[in-house]
Structure 1
Amino acid sequence: MEVTRGWTHTAFPIDEPSRIGEARRHAALLCAELGWGETETGRLALILTELGTNLVRHATNGRMLIAARTPRDDIEVICIDDGPGIADLGRAMTDGVSTGGGSPGTGLGAIRRTATSFDMHSTVPHGTVSIARVARAPRIGHAAAVPPRADIAEAHAFGAICVPIKGETVCGDAWGTSQDGATATVWVADGLGHGVHAAEASQAALDVFVEDHGGELRSLVERAHGRLQATRGAALCALRIDGASKTALCAGAGNVAVRILSGVFDRSMATQHGTVGVQIRKPEQSSLQMPPHGVAVVHSDGLATRWDAASIRPVLERDPTLAAAILFRNYARGRDDTTVVVVRQEASA
């Protein structure tokens, strides 16, 4: 069984060239903390420069989200903007084609060649989201700390965005996932308020999940309730997708939302009222039959509840982080920490 303790993104508004330097310096610090060498650090700096330059030159309200995905031994860079979008993305990825004057048109191609993985989605006039990742390069005679691997692991693919409210250096949300063959579990906790004390509550809830991620969901929520009584408490949701029975099970309390969708299906799953660690009823569990090619979205209330599924349907079969990024761009409230976790059943699930 594989369990992943989720990461947090640091957000950088990219509205003028000096901001690109801020993002590069932050990424260099992450590389140093991970013990990466000059090769990976240089690749990441090139990608950040090219992506940031595109945002400054061509985009409205460009933002860059950066996270060290320690369980996957890579660094993820997500770029988001509010337009104008790229009408012909395939052509824009071709060397020699520029989407604006004054550039040789090699940026997107260079990013694709330099990154370990790269994906992009754009619509006119709504804007563009892109995801570039750089993984640690294996040393000669030594295996990487975590062998290079695809984001699609066995029966499910995961993607996530977790961003603290502006002005905070820690996130009051926390998330994790686990996978055991055809069964996947997602855990999202939203500590009351934001800042250090909210983070203490959500991380305590995540500790419970990491310790017993294969446990029965109602029991996990009860354990978290006991553990969080020394904190300010949290909203919490546990979602389990059983690929064998094609069933989704959900338990929790508070305003962490769950929604299951596909190209033709769209249903929410309810959790009970209350605050874990403060006051909840005896935990209950709801269930839902998963549709073919189903995708689950679990998010904290930093994201508006009434989001339009049509905005992510074009990317449901691609990297799940694209869907998380689109939802974050279109529906983040901006007044709280925001976490969006997307899990997709693979065809063999």
Structure 2
Amino acid sequence: MRPYQRFAIDDASQVGEARRAAQVLAAELGFDDAAAGRLALGVTELGTNLVRHAGGGALLLGLDGDAVELLSLDTGPGMDIERCLQDGFSTGGTAGTGLGAVKRIANRFSAFSLPQRGAVIAARFESRTLNAPRPATGYSVAGLGLPAPGEQVSGDGWGLRIKDGRPLLLVADGLGHGPEAAAASDLALDLFRRSTLNGPAAMLEDAHPTLRSTRGAAVAIVAIEPTLDRLVFAGAGNITGRLISGVSDRSLISQPGTLGVQIRRLQDVVHDWPDHAILVLFSDGIVSRWNLEGAGGLLACDPMVIAGWILRDHCRGRDDATVVVVRRH
């Protein structure tokens, strides 16, 4: 999957660059004029809000299937989300319709904010009409990835597939960064999609010989079994998982090694999935000992907002960074 594009927004003049990039993505997905216009308006409103109310921040743009995901990240004074969504409410002397307008025109909208800790807003734009029915699933998933500074491609990648009714999730981190790292993670993803094996450890070990043609990658796979309240995890290298709820925080640790270079015998590890817990998988572009202390209410948000909050606060800023969040329904 392609990494997200990040646009620093410290001045109103920078919003146009993000809007033009959004229009390129809309054209790539075949958005009609109405859908492309909704996306452009969303970028303009969120970008303008960053300048006027948050003292600056960043917009992220990326593709998720047939949709464009737009995120606004800031570390400003924060906001009362519910009041700001009401038309006519404004702290900056404007008409007070911006945030509410974004919610109305987006196919999906979610936001979270805390006083003096800023806000994360996520809006999804699709070509289909608003409020169209969605297929029911037992989970929701969102992933964010940024390339290392100065790179156009990311050596990280992630993917989701359904096999025999069971969701399988992979996160890969090619050694280093740049095109060769991306080639390693892309091959790991391709092998994952085509594998006929069942267990995560077996899938990883089967991919190991083929990945010798690359510089190698850290890879982890999770098999999700929501009806059994558990998951099965296996990994090699620096991909880490966390199962987090309001009362527990359990780490899912990969074994030492690198697929395509050297690995030990891998093992599937079964973990109970507590009620209300979310699953987070992340590469080493995210600091390993992050926590969500003081962010009460965040775990109830859409997975994209949770991923954005973690990426905003805990990205190392010198390597490819990926975080994937899964919530059971």
Give me the TM-score of the superposition, normalised by structure 1. Answer: 0.89
- Which stretches in structure 2 are left out of the alignment for 5+ residues? none
CA drift of 1:179 comes to 3.7
Which of 21, 25, 28 matches 2:23? 28
Does the 8 Å contact 2:11/2:56 carry over to 1? Answer: no
Taking the aligned partners of 1:137 and 1:343, their CA distance within structure 2 comes to: 24
Question: Amino acid of the residue matched to residue 41 of structure 1?
Answer: A
Partner of 2:239: 256
Which of 105, 120, 129 matches 2:120? 129
Cα gap change, 1:155/1:231 in structure 2, threshold over 3 Å: closer, same or farther? same
CA drift of 1:313 comes to 5.2
CA drift of 1:48 comes to 0.6
Does residue 83 (structure 1) correspond to residue 66 (structure 2)? The answer is: no
Task: Calculate percent identity across the aligned residue pairs.
Answer: 43
Does the 8 Å contact 1:182/1:244 carry over to 2? Answer: no
Question: Amino acid of the residue matched to residue 244 of structure 1?
Answer: T
Question: Amino acid of the residue matched to residue 112 of structure 1?
Answer: K
Partner of 1:144: none
Does the 8 Å contact 1:182/1:243 carry over to 2? Answer: no
CA drift of 1:153 comes to 4.5
Question: Amino acid of the residue matched to residue 53 of structure 1?
Answer: T
CA drift of 1:255 comes to 0.6
Equivalent position SS for 1:316? helix
CA drift of 1:51 comes to 0.4
Does residue 99 (structure 1) correspond to residue 91 (structure 2)? The answer is: yes
Equivalent position SS for 1:218? helix
How do 1:223-262 residues align onto structure 2 when only pairs under 5 Å count? 223-262=206-245
Taking the aligned partners of 2:97 and 2:56, their CA distance within structure 1 comes to: 23
Taking the aligned partners of 2:132 and 2:193, their CA distance within structure 1 comes to: 23
Question: Amino acid of the residue matched to residue 82 of structure 1?
Answer: T
CA drift of 1:62 comes to 0.6
CA drift of 1:262 comes to 1.3
Equivalent position SS for 2:300? coil
Cα gap change, 1:148/1:167 in structure 2, threshold over 3 Å: closer, same or farther? farther
Partner of 1:14: 9
Does residue 49 (structure 1) correspond to residue 44 (structure 2)? The answer is: yes
Which of 214, 220, 242 matches 2:203? 220
Taking the aligned partners of 1:339 and 1:109, their CA distance within structure 2 comes to: 30
Taking the aligned partners of 1:279 and 1:240, their CA distance within structure 2 comes to: 23
Q: Deviations over 1:76-128 (max 9, x none)?
A: 10110011111x22111111111223x11110111111111111111010000
CA drift of 1:240 comes to 1.6
Partner of 1:141: none
- Which stretches in structure 1 are left out of the alignment for 5+ residues? 1-5, 139-146
Cα gap change, 1:91/1:198 in structure 2, threshold over 3 Å: closer, same or farther? same
Which of 107, 112, 121 matches 2:103? 112
Taking the aligned partners of 2:73 and 2:137, their CA distance within structure 1 comes to: 29
Cα gap change, 1:174/1:90 in structure 2, threshold over 3 Å: closer, same or farther? same
Equivalent position SS for 2:275? coil
Give me the TM-score of the superposition, normalised by structure 2. Answer: 0.94
Taking the aligned partners of 1:222 and 1:111, their CA distance within structure 2 comes to: 46
Does residue 298 (structure 1) correspond to residue 281 (structure 2)? The answer is: yes
Does the 8 Å contact 1:12/1:23 carry over to 2? Answer: yes
CA drift of 1:8 comes to 2.5
Partner of 1:143: none
Taking the aligned partners of 1:273 and 1:125, their CA distance within structure 2 comes to: 39
Cα gap change, 1:21/1:85 in structure 2, threshold over 3 Å: closer, same or farther? same
Q: Deviations over 1:161-186 (max 9, x none)?
A: 11112211111100011245873221
Question: Greater CA deviation, 22-31 or 215-224?
Answer: 215-224
Does the 8 Å contact 1:154/1:182 carry over to 2? Answer: no
Does the 8 Å contact 2:2/2:154 carry over to 1? Answer: no
Does the 8 Å contact 2:29/2:67 carry over to 1? Answer: no
Partner of 1:207: 190
Taking the aligned partners of 2:265 and 2:323, their CA distance within structure 1 comes to: 26
CA drift of 1:264 comes to 1.2
